Protein backbone atom coordinates (compact mmCIF):
# COMPACT_ATOMS: atom_id res chain seq x y z
CA UNK A 1 0.00 0.00 0.00
CA UNK A 2 1.30 3.44 -0.96
CA UNK A 3 2.28 5.95 1.69
CA UNK A 4 1.39 9.63 1.27
CA UNK A 5 2.78 12.61 3.12
CA UNK A 6 2.34 16.36 2.80
CA UNK A 7 4.93 19.06 3.45
CA UNK A 8 4.82 22.83 3.44
CA UNK A 9 6.98 24.42 0.73
CA UNK A 10 10.30 25.96 1.75
CA UNK A 11 13.05 27.55 -0.32
CA UNK A 12 14.97 24.26 -0.09
CA UNK A 13 12.21 22.72 -2.26
CA UNK A 14 12.57 25.30 -5.03
CA UNK A 15 14.43 23.14 -7.56
CA UNK A 16 12.20 20.12 -6.93
CA UNK A 17 9.11 22.34 -7.26
CA UNK A 18 10.15 23.94 -10.55
CA UNK A 19 11.29 20.61 -11.99
CA UNK A 20 7.94 19.10 -11.10
CA UNK A 21 6.00 22.02 -12.63
CA UNK A 22 7.95 21.72 -15.90
CA UNK A 23 6.74 18.13 -16.30
CA UNK A 24 3.26 18.27 -14.78
CA UNK A 25 0.17 17.49 -16.84
CA UNK A 26 -1.83 20.55 -15.79
CA UNK A 27 0.69 23.30 -15.03
CA UNK A 28 1.61 26.61 -16.64
CA UNK A 29 4.39 29.16 -16.12
CA UNK A 30 2.27 30.85 -13.42
CA UNK A 31 3.31 28.10 -11.00
CA UNK A 32 7.06 28.62 -11.43
CA UNK A 33 8.53 29.93 -8.19
CA UNK A 34 10.01 33.02 -9.88
CA UNK A 35 6.52 34.06 -10.97
CA UNK A 36 4.84 33.18 -7.69
CA UNK A 37 7.40 34.98 -5.56
CA UNK A 38 6.85 38.19 -7.47
CA UNK A 39 3.86 38.55 -5.10
CA UNK A 40 5.72 37.45 -1.96
CA UNK A 41 5.31 40.85 -0.28
CA UNK A 42 1.50 40.69 -0.61
CA UNK A 43 0.76 37.07 0.30
CA UNK A 44 1.85 34.62 2.95
CA UNK A 45 2.87 31.59 0.95
CA UNK A 46 1.59 28.24 2.18
CA UNK A 47 2.21 26.08 -0.86
CA UNK A 48 2.16 22.33 -0.30
CA UNK A 49 3.98 19.32 -1.70
CA UNK A 50 2.36 15.88 -1.70
CA UNK A 51 4.62 12.83 -1.82
CA UNK A 52 3.67 9.28 -2.76
CA UNK A 53 6.22 6.75 -1.53
CA UNK A 54 8.81 9.56 -1.22
CA UNK A 55 8.26 10.70 -4.83
CA UNK A 56 6.74 14.12 -5.47
CA UNK A 57 3.25 13.39 -6.78
CA UNK A 58 1.38 16.73 -6.61
CA UNK A 59 1.80 20.33 -5.51
CA UNK A 60 -0.66 23.00 -4.42
CA UNK A 61 0.31 26.64 -5.03
CA UNK A 62 -1.35 28.39 -2.09
CA UNK A 63 -1.38 31.27 0.36
CA UNK A 64 -2.89 31.51 3.81
CA UNK A 65 -4.97 34.15 5.58
CA UNK A 66 -5.75 33.33 9.19
CA UNK A 67 -7.06 29.77 9.19
CA UNK A 68 -8.11 29.84 5.51
CA UNK A 69 -6.03 28.42 2.69
CA UNK A 70 -6.45 29.66 -0.88
CA UNK A 71 -5.17 28.35 -4.18
CA UNK A 72 -2.80 31.24 -4.56
CA UNK A 73 -4.61 34.59 -4.74
CA UNK A 74 -1.67 36.13 -6.56
CA UNK A 75 -2.40 33.84 -9.50
CA UNK A 76 -5.26 33.80 -11.99
CA UNK A 77 -5.93 30.15 -11.20
CA UNK A 78 -4.39 27.47 -9.06
CA UNK A 79 -5.52 24.16 -7.63
CA UNK A 80 -3.82 20.78 -7.41
CA UNK A 81 -1.02 20.30 -9.94
CA UNK A 82 -0.38 16.66 -10.87
CA UNK A 83 2.38 14.57 -12.35
CA UNK A 84 1.82 13.04 -15.78
CA UNK A 85 1.74 9.59 -14.18
CA UNK A 86 -1.15 10.56 -11.85
CA UNK A 87 -4.03 8.07 -11.69
CA UNK A 88 -7.51 8.73 -10.32
CA UNK A 89 -7.36 6.45 -7.25
CA UNK A 90 -3.82 7.49 -6.31
CA UNK A 91 -4.75 11.15 -6.68
CA UNK A 92 -7.80 10.59 -4.48
CA UNK A 93 -5.52 9.24 -1.74
CA UNK A 94 -3.16 12.19 -2.22
CA UNK A 95 -6.06 14.62 -1.91
CA UNK A 96 -7.27 12.91 1.28
CA UNK A 97 -3.75 13.18 2.71
CA UNK A 98 -3.73 16.88 1.87
CA UNK A 99 -7.08 17.43 3.64
CA UNK A 100 -5.86 15.47 6.68
CA UNK A 101 -2.74 17.67 6.80
CA UNK A 102 -4.85 20.85 6.71
CA UNK A 103 -7.11 19.50 9.45
CA UNK A 104 -4.09 18.71 11.64
CA UNK A 105 -2.87 22.29 11.13
CA UNK A 106 -6.30 23.66 12.20
CA UNK A 107 -6.94 25.15 8.76
CA UNK A 108 -10.71 25.46 8.57
CA UNK A 109 -11.27 26.37 4.91
CA UNK A 110 -9.72 25.41 1.59
CA UNK A 111 -10.72 27.60 -1.35
CA UNK A 112 -9.65 26.40 -4.79
CA UNK A 113 -9.81 27.87 -8.29
CA UNK A 114 -9.54 25.07 -10.80
CA UNK A 115 -7.02 25.30 -13.61
CA UNK A 116 -8.85 25.86 -16.94
CA UNK A 117 -8.83 22.48 -18.66
CA UNK A 118 -7.58 23.80 -22.01
CA UNK A 119 -4.16 24.28 -20.39
CA UNK A 120 -3.85 20.56 -19.63
CA UNK A 121 -1.40 18.53 -21.68
CA UNK A 122 -3.27 15.39 -20.62
CA UNK A 123 -6.81 14.75 -19.28
CA UNK A 124 -6.97 16.03 -15.70
CA UNK A 125 -10.46 16.33 -14.23
CA UNK A 126 -9.67 14.54 -10.99
CA UNK A 127 -10.11 17.50 -8.67
CA UNK A 128 -13.53 18.46 -10.01
CA UNK A 129 -14.69 14.94 -9.19
CA UNK A 130 -13.15 15.00 -5.70
CA UNK A 131 -14.78 18.34 -4.91
CA UNK A 132 -18.13 16.90 -5.97
CA UNK A 133 -17.59 13.88 -3.71
CA UNK A 134 -16.63 16.17 -0.83
CA UNK A 135 -19.81 18.27 -1.23
CA UNK A 136 -17.69 21.35 -1.84
CA UNK A 137 -19.54 24.65 -2.21
CA UNK A 138 -19.35 26.38 -5.59
CA UNK A 139 -18.61 30.07 -4.90
CA UNK A 140 -18.42 31.34 -8.46
CA UNK A 141 -17.98 30.17 -12.03
CA UNK A 142 -16.15 32.08 -14.76
CA UNK A 143 -16.84 31.95 -18.49
CA UNK A 144 -13.97 31.36 -20.90
CA UNK A 145 -13.68 32.22 -24.58
CA UNK A 146 -11.03 29.99 -26.10
CA UNK A 147 -10.45 29.74 -29.83
CA UNK A 148 -9.16 26.52 -31.36
CA UNK A 149 -7.07 27.80 -34.27
CA UNK A 150 -7.34 24.42 -36.00
CA UNK A 151 -11.14 24.75 -36.07
CA UNK A 152 -11.89 28.14 -37.58
CA UNK A 153 -15.00 30.00 -36.48
CA UNK A 154 -17.10 31.46 -39.28
CA UNK A 155 -17.59 35.22 -39.28
CA UNK A 156 -21.09 36.39 -38.50
CA UNK A 157 -22.53 38.66 -41.18
CA UNK A 158 -22.48 41.75 -38.94
CA UNK A 159 -18.83 41.10 -38.07
CA UNK A 160 -17.86 41.00 -41.74
CA UNK A 161 -19.78 44.23 -42.33
CA UNK A 162 -17.82 45.80 -39.49
CA UNK A 163 -14.52 44.74 -41.06
CA UNK A 164 -15.53 46.17 -44.44
CA UNK A 165 -16.58 49.45 -42.77
CA UNK A 166 -13.20 49.66 -41.02
CA UNK A 167 -11.41 49.14 -44.34
CA UNK A 168 -13.48 51.86 -46.03
CA UNK A 169 -12.53 54.26 -43.23
CA UNK A 170 -8.83 53.50 -43.53
CA UNK A 171 -8.40 51.51 -40.32
CA UNK A 172 -5.16 49.51 -40.35
CA UNK A 173 -3.54 47.09 -37.92
CA UNK A 174 0.25 46.96 -37.73
CA UNK A 175 3.00 45.66 -35.46
CA UNK A 176 4.76 48.58 -33.79
CA UNK A 177 7.63 48.63 -31.29
CA UNK A 178 6.91 52.20 -30.17
CA UNK A 179 6.48 51.24 -26.52
CA UNK A 180 7.07 54.79 -25.29
CA UNK A 181 4.10 56.04 -27.30
CA UNK A 182 1.93 53.21 -25.99
CA UNK A 183 2.87 53.97 -22.39
CA UNK A 184 2.42 57.75 -22.63
CA UNK A 185 -0.62 57.94 -24.90
CA UNK A 186 -2.62 54.85 -23.91
CA UNK A 187 -1.53 52.92 -20.83
CA UNK A 188 -0.73 55.72 -18.36
CA UNK A 189 -3.82 57.87 -19.19
CA UNK A 190 -6.08 54.82 -18.84
CA UNK A 191 -4.50 53.80 -15.52
CA UNK A 192 -4.88 57.36 -14.21
CA UNK A 193 -8.52 57.39 -15.31
CA UNK A 194 -9.15 54.08 -13.55
CA UNK A 195 -7.45 55.35 -10.37
CA UNK A 196 -9.61 58.49 -10.35
CA UNK A 197 -12.77 56.44 -10.84
CA UNK A 198 -11.74 54.01 -8.11
CA UNK A 199 -11.16 56.80 -5.62
CA UNK A 200 -14.61 58.22 -6.26
CA UNK A 201 -13.28 61.58 -7.43
CATH code of the domain in which 127 resides: 3.40.630.30
User: 173 and 97 in one domain?
Assistant: no
User: 74 and 8 in one domain?
Assistant: yes
Region 92-113: what's the mean pLDDT? 94
Single pTM value for the model: 0.70
Strands 55-60 and 81-82: antiparallel
User: 20 and 106 in one domain?
Assistant: yes
Last residue within a domain, chosen from 133, 166, 189:
133
Higher pLDDT: 121 or 73? It is: 73
Distances (CA, A) of 60 to 35, 93, 169, 173: 15, 15, 51, 41
Higher pLDDT: 48 or 200? It is: 48
Q: Is residue 149 part of a domain?
A: no
Judged by average pLDDT, the poorest of 27-36, 81-90, 149-158, 177-186 is 149-158
User: 166 and 103 in one domain?
Assistant: no
Give the pLDDT of residue 194: 65
Strands 109-111 and 68-71: parallel
Region 151-176: what's the mean pLDDT? 82
User: 161 and 128 in one domain?
Assistant: no
User: 70 and 21 in one domain?
Assistant: yes
pLDDT category at 198 given cuts 50, 70, 90 is low
Summarised one tens digit per residue, pLDDT across range 7-65 is: 999 999 999 999 999 999 888 888 899 888 887 788 999 999 999 999 999 999 999 99
Question: How many CA atoms, within 13 angstroms, populate the side-chain half-sphere of residue 10?
Answer: 3
Round to whole Å and give the CA distance between 182 and 170.
21
Q: Which residues does residue 111 pair with via DSSP β-bridges, in sequence order?
A: 70
User: 170 and 120 in one domain?
Assistant: no
Give the pLDDT of residue 143: 79
Cβ-based neighbour number of residue 199 at 10 Å: 7
- The number of domains in the chain is 2
SS3 151: coil
pLDDT above 50 (res 158): yes
Give the pLDDT of residue 201: 46
pLDDT category at 68 given cuts 50, 70, 90 is very high
Range of the domain at 179: 157-198
Q: Is residue 139 part of a domain?
A: no
pLDDT above 70 (res 200): no
User: 119 and 20 in one domain?
Assistant: yes
Amino acid sequence: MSNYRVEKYTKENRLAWDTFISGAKNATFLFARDFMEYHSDRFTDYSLLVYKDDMLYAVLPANIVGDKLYSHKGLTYGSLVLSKSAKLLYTFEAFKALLAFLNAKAISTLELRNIPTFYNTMPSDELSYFLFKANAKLIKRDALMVIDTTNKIKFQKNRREGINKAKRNGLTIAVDDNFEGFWKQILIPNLQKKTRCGSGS
